[in-house]
Chain A
Amino acid sequence: MTAFETGDRVRVRSADKPGHVRTPEYLKGKTGRVESVLGEFRNPEDLAYGLSGLPERPLYKVGFRQADLWSDYEGPADDYLYADVYEQWLEHDEGGIT
C-alpha cells in the first residue's frame, strides 16, 4: 500500500538532506501530480553508503508544470517535466492547487 496514488497532488519536501540525494534541488518545494506508481526499489540514498537500502521505497513518476518550476518559463503553458521521486521526498499538497 503506497501513500500516494495516480492523480494525487503532491509537494516535494524542501529538506536540506546532506550527502547523496536523488531529488534535484529545482524540484524542492514544488507541487505536481502523481502520474504513476513505478514500483518499490531499494533506497539509493542508503545504497550510496554501502547499506542495504531496505526496506524498499515506493517510487513515483510525478508531473510538474514547467511554468511552476521556472519563473521565467516562456514555453507553452501545458509543457510538463516528469521526474521519478521517491515516497520519502513527497507530501500531500494541502493547498489543492490544480
Chain B
Amino acid sequence: MTGVHDLGGSPGGPVDKGQHEVEDWERLADAVTIALDIKGIKTTDEHRRAIESLENYRALGYYERWVAATEKLLVEKGILTREEVDERSAEIENRWGGA
C-alpha cells in the first residue's frame, strides 16, 4: 500500500510554474514547526509521517498540511487537546469577524 505522497512516476498533469507570494501564516507555520524540532518536541520524520497520514491530504495546500500535521503531533503527544485547538480557532475566527 503506497502512501498518498508516494507519487513518483504517476501521471501528474501539467506543473503549475506560477510564482506564489508567501503569506504571513505560512511563514508562521514554518517557524513554529522548526521551533518544535529545535526544542526536541518532534522530529522532521514524525512530521512527514503525520502529513502522509492526513485523511484530507489531497484537499490541502503545502503549508496547510504542515499546520494540520503539527496539530496532529501536538495532540498525539498530549501537549494540546483537540478541544483547546478548536476553542482557540473559534476565538480567533470570532475576533476577525469570520472574514
The interface of chain A, by Cβ under 8 A from chain B, is: 16, 18-21, 24-26, 44-45, 47-50, 53, 69-70
CB pair B45–A44 under 8 Å, yes or no, is yes
**A16-B1, A18-B1 are known contacts. Are A49 and B6 too (CB-CB below 8 A)?**
no
Residue of B1, B8, B49 touching A49 (CB-CB under 8 A): B49
**B6 → chain A, closest Cβ, in Å?**
5
CB pair A50–B46 under 8 Å, yes or no, is yes
| A-B contacts, CB under 8 A, total | 37
B1-26 CB mask vs A (1 if < 8 Å, else 0) is 11100101100000000000000000
Residue of A16, A21, A25 touching B8 (CB-CB under 8 A): A25
CB pair A20–B6 under 8 Å, yes or no, is no
Residue among B8, B9, B45, B52 with the highest chain A CB neighbour number at 10 A: B45
CB pair B1–A20 under 8 Å, yes or no, is no
Q: How many residues of B contact A (CB 8 A)?
A: 13
CB pair A48–B46 under 8 Å, yes or no, is yes
CB pair B9–A19 under 8 Å, yes or no, is no
Who on chain B is nearest to A44 by CB? B45
**A18-B1, A25-B2 are known contacts. Are A48 and B9 too (CB-CB below 8 A)?**
no
The 8 closest A-B pairs by CB, nearest first: A48-B49, A47-B45, A20-B49, A26-B9, A48-B45, A44-B45, A26-B8, A25-B2
CA–CA, A69 to B10, complex, Å? 12
B32-52 CB mask vs A (1 if < 8 Å, else 0) is 000000000001011011001
CA–CA, A48 to B3, complex, Å? 14
Residue of A21, A44, A49, A69 touching B3 (CB-CB under 8 A): A21
Residue among A21, A50, A69, A70 with the highest chain B CB neighbour number at 10 A: A50
What are 7 A-B interface contacts by the 8 Å CB criterion?
Answer: A21-B6, A25-B9, A26-B9, A45-B45, A48-B46, A50-B46, A50-B77
